[in-house]
Amino acid sequence: MTFVLITRRSRFRAGTRYFSRGIDENGNVSNFNETEQIIIIGESQISGIGYDRPNTPSGKPRLDVLSYVQTRGSVPVFWAEINQLRFVPKLLIRNIDPVNAARKHFQQQVQIYGDNYCVNLVNQTGREQNVKNAYENVVKNIVSSPAEAKESSSRTSEQFHIIEPTGQRKMEDRVHYIFFDFHHECRGLKWHRALLLLDQMKEPLEEQRYCHLSEGPEGSAVRSVQTSVVRSNCMDCLDRTNVVQSMLARYTLDRQLKDIGVLDANETIANYAKFEFLFRNGAYKYLDYSNTTALLIRTV
């Protein structure tokens, strides 16, 4: 079994933390990344090295390739942080209507990936509140007849804030917004509480599926395709986003390996210490493609 993790970084609006934020007039957001997690089971060729799986009864090798894609990117409104040589720069929402730019961004995203489930992990109070409010206003302006729902918890008055279109009249009506108060729910390093978000998203995750290609005695087949994508962000698309993307990747990986019979119904990758270490760390081979990619490969 070969485990591959590829991150493709957009060439548009790439920049360092604090210096590149938000969206431009063409709909490009800062630090946009597409991450693809791939499992290859059977005979394959990566970097010229072959890996063999026992042949099927017909004598022909079988190959299964399973892929899952997620995206991350800066909040798609016009905002910036003014650096004044202080520990925390001043956050500024620019006085420019972001609706047209956000519409361009999501039209492109829907065209590429299908439905976009936008998971927003910024804080709902303090300096990040204006970014949260601006994002929600944009979504409400680009989708048809938006319907809102809020849920509270013992930790926060707004644990979830969901915005859904009630019509399907245009491309942007395939945008779904989910705010999760990561800061309050997971404070004190209680990362396991991010599973609350997973529970909230179970239905769209089941519906979006994943890509599954196979080749065997019966020929080649596309057995499944991914129909939507989760687009995650926090302020920097770093720590909070990493926790959530890792959680979704683990959930999908367990599902894939169960579907093809590698794991039993009551098993997860956590039952296998070597693979669990690989999943958490992963840095075994690094190939640097100057215009796109960090690629991590490991065979187990």
* Residue with more model confidence, 225 or 52: 225
- First-to-last alpha carbon distance for the chain, in angstroms, is 5
The first and second tokens of residue 180, run together, are 């999760």
The first and second tokens of residue 297, run together, are 């490969």
Element housing 163 (H / E): strand 160-164
Q: pLDDT digits over 171-188, tens only? A: 999 999 999 999 999 998
Residue 291: pLDDT over 50? no
Element housing 99 (H / E): helix 99-113
* Residue with more model confidence, 44 or 77: 77
Name the nearest CA neighbour of 180 among 147, 251, 132.
132
Which pLDDT band holds residue 295 (cuts at 50, 70, 90)? very low
The first and second tokens of residue 27, run together, are 């709909």
Q: pLDDT digits over 77-131, tens only? A: 999 988 777 677 888 899 899 999 999 999 999 999 999 999 999 999 999 999 9
Phi, psi of 187 (to 5 degrees): -60, 155
* Residue range 249-272: mean pLDDT, rounded: 95
Identity of the residue numbered 232? S
**Confidence at residue 45, expressed as pLDDT on a 0 to 100 scale:** 52
Number of compact structural domains in the chain? 1
* Residue with more model confidence, 293 or 154: 154
- Domain encompassing residue 122: 2-299
Report the relative pairing of strands 175-180 and 160-164 from DSSP bridges: antiparallel
**Confidence at residue 252, expressed as pLDDT on a 0 to 100 scale:** 97
**SS3 state of residue 236:** coil
Which pLDDT band holds residue 60 (cuts at 50, 70, 90)? low
* Residue with more model confidence, 60 or 287: 60
Residue 213: pLDDT over 90? yes
* Residue range 235-258: mean pLDDT, rounded: 95
Q: pLDDT digits over 157-172, tens only? A: 999 999 999 988 899 9
Neighbours of 124 (CB within 10 A): 20
Residue 266: pLDDT over 90? yes
Q: How much is the mean pLDDT over the chain?
A: 88
**Confidence at residue 218, expressed as pLDDT on a 0 to 100 scale:** 79
Distance (Å, whole) CA 173 – CA 153: 29
Distance (Å, whole) CA 30 – CA 28: 7
